[in-house]
Amino acid sequence: MGIKSYSPTSAGRRHGNVLDFAEITRRTPEKSLLEPLPKTGGRNNHGHMTSRRRGGGHKRMYRVIDFRRNKDGVPATVKTIEYDPNRSANIALLVYADGDKRYILAPLGLAVGQKVQSGPGSDPTPGNAMKLLDIPVGLTIHNIEINAGRGGQICRSAGCAAQLTAREGDYAVVQMPSGELRRIHVQCRATIGRLGNMDHQNVKLGKAGRKRHMGRRPEVRGTAQNPVDHPMGGGEGRTSGGRHPCSPSGVLAKGGKTRRRNHPTNKFILRRRK
């Protein structure tokens, strides 16, 4: 999918661009796979703000995605490639031989009319899903499960892919997009290929209004606030914010460790990300 620019008819159009949606084959989603997606505005059940800079935005419906890919042995045909406002990657509508319809994340190169399948005996081609036990070593994969049967949780954004580097007993060694090497049980499933819509990272919004359409409100620097509002606020003139950049609640930023030292899954990490 390419990038489309416009003539600079305004300041926002001058530096902004959009995707050309050349791969999209259908504009309206499948109604049977839609669910309501209410907005919270960053508030909890008491009405208190628990997540800053959220609110507004265009109304959305949630597309139910099949992250488990557990319909084994039944071939499916790709009917459409669609846009999903809830994620950066595109989605593909599968119609199975028994009439069942499901959405999946659309990998790079998947086209309308193509056949995909999941389960043992499937070919290691883009769009097919199987256990790490059955995937040839060296292939790129996405939508990877952490716990067998829970559904894919790793590598689900546009252009994302991991690599199956080795298998050792009951565990496979997967290289994450960050460079981290991690052991994952061979009974966990993954989908072959790299996710499409790789030009998503090259889109420039161009103006603040497009961010508001996405449900994001303005962000104010901590050093520009008052001491009562932020730990880095206050002072005479412009200040650097002190020795420890942090959030309003005091959580360290810019390199502060946030992972628990005794996290139970630390034993599965063979090499930390760079």
Report the CATH number that the domain containing residue 112 is assigned in CATH. Answer: 2.40.50.140
Instruction: Give the residue-averaged pLDDT of 127-156.
Output: 97
Distance CA 220, CA 127 (A): 42
Going by the DSSP 8-state scheme, the letter that residue 107 receives in this structure is: B
pTM: 0.92
Establish if 170 belongs to a structural domain: yes
Q: Using 50, 70 and 90 to split pLDDT, how confident is the model at 255?
A: confident
Establish if 247 belongs to a structural domain: no
Taking the chain, what is the end-to-end CA distance rounded to the nearest angstrom? Answer: 30
pLDDT at 115: 97
Do the beta carbons of residue 233 and residue 240 sit within 8 Å? Answer: no
**Closest CA relative to residue 129, chosen from 109, 105, 97, 98:** 105
Cα angle 58, 62, 63; round to 5: 130
Of the CA atoms within 13 Å of residue 65, those in its CB half-sphere come to 21
Establish if 235 belongs to a structural domain: no
Establish if 49 belongs to a structural domain: no
Q: How many domains does the chain have?
A: 1
Instruction: Report CA 126 to chain centroid distance, whole Å.
Output: 18
Q: Per-residue pLDDT tens for 23-67?
A: 999 999 999 999 999 999 999 999 999 999 999 999 999 999 999
Look at phi and psi of residue 138 and say left if phi exceeds 0, alpha if psi is from -120 to 50, else beta. left
Q: Using 50, 70 and 90 to split pLDDT, how confident is the model at 241?
A: confident
Establish if 30 belongs to a structural domain: yes
- CA torsion, ordered 203, 204, 207, 213, to nearest 10 deg: 20
Do the beta carbons of residue 42 and residue 51 sit within 8 Å? Answer: yes
Establish if 251 belongs to a structural domain: no
pLDDT at 74: 97
Distance CA 62, CA 65 (A): 9
Distance CA 68, CA 123 (A): 18
Establish if 128 belongs to a structural domain: yes
- Number of neighbours of residue 81 by Cβ within 10 angstroms: 21
Do the beta carbons of residue 83 and residue 76 sit within 8 Å? Answer: no
Distance CA 4, CA 201 (A): 13
Distance CA 224, CA 232 (A): 8
Residue 243: is its pLDDT beyond 80? Answer: no
- Number of neighbours of residue 89 by Cβ within 10 angstroms: 25
Establish if 176 belongs to a structural domain: yes
Domain extent, residue 172, equals 3-42+57-201+263-271
